[in-house]
Amino acid sequence: MMVHKKLQAWIEEVATMCQPDQIYWCDGSQEENDRLFQEMVNKGQAIRLNPEKRPGSYLFRSHPSDVARVEDRTFIASGKKEDAGPTNNWVDPVALKKTMTTLFTGSMKGRTMYVIPFSMGPIGSPISKIGVELTDSPYVVVNMRIMTRIGTAVLETLGADGEFVKCLHSVGVPLKDGETDAAWPCAPIEEKYISHFPDQRTIWSYGSGYGGNALLGKKCFALRIASVQARDEGWMAEHMLILSITDPQGNKKYVTGAFPSATGKTNLAMHIPSLPGWKVETVGDDIAWMKFGEDGRLRAINPEAGFFGVAPGTSLESNYNAMRSIEKNTIFTNVALTDDGDVWWEGIGYDAPEHLIDWKGNDWTAADSNALAAHPNARFTAPAGQCPVIAPEWEDPAGVPVDAILVGGRRPNTIPLIHESFDWDHGVFMGSTLSSEITAATISNDIGQVRYDPFAMLPFIGYNVCDYLQHWIDIGAQPEADKLPKIFYVNWFRKDESGKWLWPGYGDNSRVLKWVIERVSGQGAAVKTPIGYMPSPDAIDTDGLDISAAEMKALLYVDKKLWLQNVDLIKAYYAGFGDRLPQSLRLQLEALEQRLTAL
Ligand code: SAT
Ligand code: MN
């Protein structure tokens, strides 16, 4: 194989700093995968699940402190502070490298440094990008093998001088001679650093083994670094699902969707439509990379190859296709273990057996345990190809042409079930105001407050949020604007006065998608309102749905008073972005206020 001089030099530089006992190049083979799992089982770091129940599947239990992304310890070290913007933690890159070099020095002693060449997106697609992760965690290797395409084929594509993103990761626990390893080695919180050097296309992650902090292809590369690459190269890296929807006549359309956490993104990506004859297929459940094709259409790929989903709450009823996807070859982290070697979690859809081992490794009995058996952020890592409704074209290197973009928040009032933007810039305005209300279900003093999460990207934009929104505006400035996807704002979470959800959600969301694709096909009855185009009274297909005309009216009602309050909230939120906010968004807000006042 050709020698990639820059890659070799970087590996040597890192090895000199981290001082691993050995360096191992991952080829991505099944044999290698089996061997790594076996080694982790032998060391007590992994538990092989019952092969009769979950073939090829394993359970890991993290350190109780290492269970989620650490946003306080996540840094965007751009050259200038303004380039990280008001929403990111900025540290001077030179100072940060210095601090982290001290930590990384000798951090891999007693361990193997794995070299993982990986492709985000189908190998060789013009939209795909290559990264190389150097890590001392075999847990990271086996997860990256599911979540991305890894190994020899990637190195061949990289060739002798291909570009790659440098991803360095260490759990931050060097081992002395003969010292036994922890079940889940990680560093204390104040030593954790999830650092991005966007100008150098480099990630340095130290001290955590958890998914979003350690599987560097995911949020660190595919969103934070890729959003910067996308800005520079004229494409988009977004926190979006991708699905296809086919009507009974066989017409297929593609929809992407940005939804903040806890709004059912994975569920929507693979839902089973309640409308007879309609079919939904999954292209991706978390990240979309979108680039204009030669035909002038915006085309999307899923840069990932697996699902890293939240287990609790996943059941045959809430997400049948996710449950089918995790029947085999799946890594479970922080779920409970049953006595017969299978998994259990809260909301799995059936009662816990009498005895379990909980996510901390302790005995748990249904009779006398109030503690959760699975951590609320317990995860499954499963190959996307195992999803029963994976779209046959999900790995098409050309991507799929995007017809509609959804943005969705979680608001008990104000925002209707669906509205469509007047044009692209108005759609960017909508996406910039994506928000969720903190409800009584969350223990918080902020009940009733609205939290903004522009395009569900708040923790994932690798540069200044204002420049990011300007980039969205720039993407829309196309000579063939009629080829752009249409943008829609959905809110599945509107409530009536008694606090009851008005919309059933799940498979019935396809009724809303039906109107969306009717609109992009030039049909679909709509009325013009101050906030956008909305379905005319009978335009949403409620056939067979137990919902009254009054309830539908409430779901689609635009309350002038609440909307004017909403405008004030957006003003305050925009004020936090300062002068760099795109002028066109300021104008959108003014125009909205004028239309509402005239109502
Ligand atoms: O923590 S991860 O980024 O791996 C998953 C998520 O937060 O969506
Ligand atoms: Mn996500």
- The answer to pTM > 0.90 is yes
Q: Is the CB of 265 under 6 A from ligand 1?
A: no
Average pLDDT, the chain: 96
H-assigned helices in 363-522: 424-432, 465-476, 509-520
Ligand 2 centroid–CA 224 distance in Å is 12
Is pLDDT at 445 greater than 80 in this prediction?
A: no
Q: Which of 285, 308, 310, 460 to mutate to test the pocket of ligand 1 (most atoms within 8 A of CB)?
A: 308
Mean predicted confidence (pLDDT) in 26-38: 98
Query: What mean pLDDT comes out for the span 441-449?
Result: 62
Q: Name the strands in the sheet holding 355-357, side by side, starting at the edge strand that comes first in the sequence.
A: 343-344, 336-338, 355-357, 363-365
Nearest atom of ligand 1 to the alpha carbon of 211 = 4
Q: Residue 111 in contact with residue 485, Cβ under 8 Å?
A: no
Q: Output the pLDDT for position 1.
A: 65
**pLDDT digit string (tens) for 485-543?**
999 999 999 999 999 999 999 999 999 999 999 999 999 999 999 999 999 989 999 99
210 is in an annotated binding site: yes
What is the full DSSP assignment across 108-156? Answer: TTTSEEEEEEEEESSTT-TT-EEEEEEES-HHHHHHHHHHSEESHHHHH
Tens digit of each residue's pLDDT (9 = 90 or more) over 386-427: 999 999 999 999 999 999 999 999 999 999 999 999 999 999
Q: Over pLDDT 90: what percentage of the chain?
A: 94
Q: Which residues are placed with Cβ below 5 angstroms of ligand 2, an ion? A: 286
> Does the CB atom of residue 224 touch ligand 1 within 6 A?
no
For residue 217 and ligand 1, the question of a CB distance below 6 A is answered with no
Read off the pLDDT of each residue in 38-64 and give the average, rounded to a whole number: 98
pLDDT digits (tens, 9 = 90+) for 294-328: 999 999 999 999 999 999 999 999 999 999 999 99
The distance in angstroms from the start CA to the end CA of the chain is 69
Nearest residue (by CA) to ligand 1, atom 3, is 212
Q: Which residues of 227-253 are buried (b: 16+ CB within 10 A; e: fewer)?
A: bbbbbeeebbbbbbbbbbbbbeeeebb
Q: How far apart are CA 231 and CA 370, in angstroms?
A: 48
Q: Is the pLDDT of residue 441 over 60?
A: no
Q: Which helix (H) or strand (E) segment is 404 a member of? A: strand 404-408
pLDDT (0 to 100) of residue 443: 53
Residue 547 CB burial class (10 angstroms; 0-12, 13-18, ≥19):
middle
Residue 252, beta-bridge partner list: 246
Is the CB–ligand 1 distance for residue 411 below 6 Å? no
Q: What's residue 479's pLDDT?
A: 87
- Closest-lying ligand 1 atom to the alpha carbon of residue 215: 4
Within a 13 Å sphere around the CA of 393, how many CA atoms are in the beta-carbon half?
16
Q: Is residue 494 in contact with ligand 1, taking CB distance under 6 Å?
A: no
Residue 439 confidence (pLDDT): 62
Of 418, 55, 387, nearest in space to 257 by CA: 418
pLDDT of residue 379: 97
| CA 284 – ligand 2 centroid, Å | 11
Q: Could you tell me the pLDDT band of residue 283, with boundaries at 50, 70 and 90?
A: very high
Q: Please, what is the angle between helix 424-432 and helix 583-597, to 10°?
A: 90
Residue 351 backbone class (left: φ over 0; alpha: ψ -120 to 50; beta: rest):
beta
Model confidence at 261, pLDDT cuts 50, 70, 90, reads confident
Question: Which pLDDT score, from 0 to 100, does residue 3 have?
Answer: 82
From residue 212, alpha-carbon distances to 224, 379, 436 in Å are 12, 11, 22
Amino acid at position 38, single letter = Q
H or E element at residue 550:
helix 549-555
> What is the Cβ-side half-sphere exposure of residue 129, based on CA atoms within 13 angstroms?
25
Phi, psi dihedral angles at 196 (to 5 degrees): -120, 130
Nearest listed ligand to the Cα of residue 457 = 2
Q: Does the beta carbon of 460 lie inside 6 Å of ligand 1?
A: no
Give the pLDDT band (50/70/90) at residue 369.
Answer: confident
pLDDT reading at 438 higher than 80:
no
Return all residues near 326 (Cβ < 8 A) that are at least 6 apart: 57, 332, 380, 382, 386
Ligand 1 proximity of 219 Cβ (cutoff 6 Å): yes
What does the pLDDT read at residue 124?
86
Flag whether pLDDT at 440 surpasses 80. Answer: no
- Centre of ligand 2 from the C-alpha of residue 425, in Å: 25
Name every residue whose Cβ is closer than 8 Å to that of residue 320 and which is 6 or more positions away in sequence: 272
Mind spelling out the 3-state secondary structure of 188-207? Answer: CHHHCEEEEEHHHCEEEEEC
Q: Could you tell me the distance, in angstroms and rounded to a whole number, from the CA of residue 223 to the centre of ligand 2?
A: 10
Q: Is 350 exposed, middle or buried (0-12, 13-18, 19+ CB in 10 A)?
A: exposed
